[in-house]
Structure 1
Amino acid sequence: MGKMPGKAEIKFMPSSVQQDSNIISRYTCPECNLAYCSSTCFKSPVIRLFSLYGYLFTRRAQAHTNCSQAFYKKQIEADVRSESSSKSVEERLKMMEILKRFEENNMEQDELVGEDEENSEGEDDLERRFSAIDIASASPDALWSLLSQVERDKFIEAIQDPSSNLAQELLLSQELQNELAQEPWWEMSSITHDADDDPDDTRYGRTPELIDIPTTMVKPLPIGPPLIYNLCAVCIAYAFVTRRLATSPLSTLSYTIHSQDSEEVKHLLAQLVPFVMDRKSKVLHTSLSTAIDDVWSRFDKSAISSSTFTVLMRDTATLVRPLPIGIISSPDPSSYSTSASSNSRTTVADITSHPNRPLVYVLSDLHRLFANQNPNQNSNFTHVAHKLLFYAAHVLSTPPLVLRSLADDLAFRAKKEQKAPEIIPGQVNAGSSHADSMIPTSQTKTKGLGPYSENGANLKNITTNLIEEI
């Protein structure tokens, strides 16, 4: 390119317009017919140069800038038109779906807000209705009368359908879980270990407090008819009541006239073991079979199954079984109790080291339930407390070998019953007893199980032989 008029020399930057003779033109603008070496140069909106007369070339650059902007606009419009024809329906559907979800979320939030307001109003109303009474001492009829018809219907529905959401919510409540998590005291790994020794161990109930038994009531051997079979019936009823009320021990209940649980305990015991509650009762079970059969016949068959009764049998075997080690100790000054009517001191038996104390724990727990705690209050169950005290003395007089054989027989029957077919409540054959179904008959004698495998626990022969050896 030659010299232009003037003293200034014009130079183009690389990749500029075709006026530079050293660069070959490959593209031409369809609007202004300017030649360009590359598409990059064509897209560049300004021609960069160094010149005193740069305005000449700047005008060209600005003219081409208008061309490139118009070209971009046409290309974009063409792309939009081509894409809108194929994607407009799909995008429109997506937009409608998004709007639909948005509206549904708004509706759900409005419903939740409305339910929260209704629940808040319902809770306030329920709290107001129950604020005037003592829920702990109120009768079930009084509590039922304070519920609305809707609340009553919900409660009945939850009771009739344990799998419902409301029933599951109630069962999973933390308070109920803590209560249900407490196992009976006799299921501790060792009865000699008291739950009070470990305050953090709340899984098991604490061991009942032992009652004082005068040594004058404890004999070297039992006197009179054996009461061990009656005691088995008492243990079955005791285990059932403990598990039913989820309270261990039973003496932790409030023993007032308004205590619903305390009255429930007495009602169940009167139903299952009436010989304990009846002052004039002379019932004496002569075998384990008759004791089991009598208790089973008194259960409401709609409330207990054969498998549940098997659990009670295992519980009874645990409660009857003496501890393998008994510590013999001489009485200390704390083993004396002073009579209120005289200044004489009465020596009490040392039960804490006696191997038969598990069964005494049961009788002690029941004794404190029926004993008159308030001297100013007349009690109709004083005779029951006296009878339980007599039973406890009889236990201390019974040789541990007798109770061990009885516990083995109970465990054997429970194990056999666990393998037997389930007995459906309400379909028990009246011609055969439940106890007989767990007794090894002459056709099903088991060898190697000791004397109780022949005809139940032949405890009479065991006791007789023991007396002869002594």
Structure 2
Amino acid sequence: MAESVGVKKVCELCLKATSQYTCPRCNIRYCTSVCYKGESHANCSEAFYKDCFMEALKEKEVNEEDKKQMIETLKKYEDDPYDLDSDEEELSLEERMSGLDLDNDSDEIWSALTDVEKKEFQAMLQDGRLGHLVELWEPWWTSHNAALVTEVGKKIQPPKGQLQILTKIPEIGLLLKNPPSENIKYGVLNILYGYCYLLRLHNGEQAADSAIQFCQDLKEISDCLGDMVYSLTSEALQIAIENISGKAKSVFVSQEFSISIIEDVKHVIIGPDTSSSIDYVLAALSDIYRNFVSARKMVNNELKNVTKPEEQAALKEMKKGFFKIGKGVEFKLAWAKSYGAMMQSLIPELELELCSLTSEFATQSKVNKYFEKKLKAKPKKPLIEEL
């Protein structure tokens, strides 16, 4: 994540140069890839690269050239000079990979590697070679126009990668007879958190055929896609964070990563510039809406190939749920179009919540380390003592 224009802070790793980026996992500021891959940040960067590398194996849109390059990269390390006691002749890498689907069989591919190949993979993590295979995604919402004054009639270009806002957003006045509740902004906040979390988790990748999984994960994180209503910023964020380590634990990375997403939500609410502050909120909600529409169509296609009554019933229920949530997101789009500027008032609260949760996490980590150290140092009492 690039630093906001005009803000100069020192690199938190080398404590010398000016920071240019923010780690997508732990939110620490750093100046260059040297610091990012350095020893003091190794645990975070290594885990990120490995997750991204293994995730890349699962992507549906891997072309033949990428597959060939992957095989050639692994082939360099197929010789095992230490395995001299083996009674059987080891199969070549190509033979071991034969029959495996490089798009989906990531676990099987890992199992097919020799111990030396796995060690080499770990070495690539350690020395940063793997980092060259994974391009860090910079979210479109982190780009803000620094100019407060622009020429009359001059159109500001949207940031690279910014998603399109739906063109047919209904007017909120046509959906409601009375003015909408101010608490809707907390629901939007809750949904934006889940959206930013999932995009960060997958390094910005959104495969066309993964809409169902994306929507299911988002539904587990953001309760406001259902009937839940919040009246506080802290509620909207903290319950989403709790959901990630609870019912949505399949997407859990770390508490530190979950907390860092609050910074992303703040960027979405800030918007591209002062004249169009709601555009990022509208773009994010539009993308969420499109995902639920796509997921519903995919479920409908699956229904055509299912004959068992119980499976049909489950898919119909899922389709119904996606339709209902899609309508809810459409309503929030209509609200944001007319009242989205209200979200700006949440920025100070987001900053306070980020500071508070970060402090709590740091304190709890210190306490945990203290007791872990005490437990390790404490000698074990013998089970039987001489009287």
Report TM bin, short chain: 0.5 to 0.7
2:93 to 126, 144, 151: 126
Kindly indicate whether the alpha-carbon contact (under 8 Å) linking 2:77 and 2:120 is maintained by their aligned counterparts in 1.
no
Q: Which residue of 2 aligns with 1:188?
A: 143
Give yes or no for the alignment of 1:226 onto 2:183. yes
Give yes or no for the alignment of 1:386 onto 2:333. no
1:213 to 155, 160, 168: 168
> Does the C-alpha gap of structure 1 residues 285 and 222 become closer, same or farther in structure 2, counting only changes over 3 Å?
same
Kindly indicate whether the alpha-carbon contact (under 8 Å) linking 1:207 and 1:361 is maintained by their aligned counterparts in 2.
yes
2:132 to 154, 166, 174: 174
Letter in 2 for 1:234: I
SS at match of 2:294: coil
> Does the C-alpha gap of structure 1 residues 149 and 133 become closer, same or farther in structure 2, counting only changes over 3 Å?
closer
User: Which digits, 9 at most, give the CA deviation of each residue in 1:393-429, with x for residues without a partner?
Assistant: 11112152x211112221233245445561547989x
Give unmatched runs, 5+ long, in structure 2. Answer: 1-75, 82-88, 147-155, 304-317, 369-387
User: Which digits, 9 at most, give the CA deviation of each residue in 1:423-455, with x for residues without a partner?
Assistant: 547989xxxxxxxxxxxxxxxxxxxxxxxxxxx
Kindly indicate whether the alpha-carbon contact (under 8 Å) linking 2:164 and 2:286 is maintained by their aligned counterparts in 1.
yes
More helix, by proportion: 2
Letter in 2 for 1:316: V
Give unmatched runs, 5+ long, in structure 1. Answer: 1-114, 197-205, 327-353, 429-470
* Alignment: residue pair count: 252
> Does the C-alpha gap of structure 1 residues 126 and 223 become closer, same or farther in structure 2, counting only changes over 3 Å?
same
1:320 to 240, 255, 269: 269
Q: How does 1:65-464 map to 2 (within 5 A)?
A: 118=79, 125-136=92-103, 138-140=104-106, 143=109, 147-148=111-112, 150-151=114-115, 155=118, 164-168=122-126, 172-176=130-134, 178=135, 180=136, 182-190=137-145, 193-196=157-160, 206-217=161-172, 222-224=179-181, 226-247=183-204, 253-256=206-209, 259=210, 262=211, 264-276=213-225, 281-300=226-245, 303-305=252-254, 307-321=256-270, 325-326=274-275, 355-372=277-294, 377=301, 380=319, 381-398=322-339, 400=341, 402-418=342-358, 422-424=362-364
Distance in 2 separating the partners of 1:125 and 1:173:
26
Task: Give me the TM-score of the superposition, normalised by structure 1.
Answer: 0.45
Shift of 1:228: 0.9
Higher RCO, Cα 8 Å, sep 6+ = 2
Distance in 1 separating the partners of 2:212 and 2:365:
26
CA RMSD of superposed structures (Å): 4.1
> Does the C-alpha gap of structure 1 residues 216 and 195 become closer, same or farther in structure 2, counting only changes over 3 Å?
closer
Q: Which residue of 2 aligns with 1:7?
A: none
> Does the C-alpha gap of structure 1 residues 124 and 264 become closer, same or farther in structure 2, counting only changes over 3 Å?
farther
Kindly indicate whether the alpha-carbon contact (under 8 Å) linking 2:256 and 2:358 is maintained by their aligned counterparts in 1.
yes
Distance in 2 separating the partners of 1:275 and 1:158:
45
Kindly indicate whether the alpha-carbon contact (under 8 Å) linking 1:310 and 1:417 is maintained by their aligned counterparts in 2.
yes
Shift of 1:310: 3.8
Q: Which residue of 1 aligns with 2:50?
A: none
Larger CA Rg, structure 1 vs 2? 1
Deviates more, 1:289-298 or 1:209-218: 209-218
> Does the C-alpha gap of structure 1 residues 167 and 413 become closer, same or farther in structure 2, counting only changes over 3 Å?
same
Distance in 2 separating the partners of 1:117 and 1:313:
43
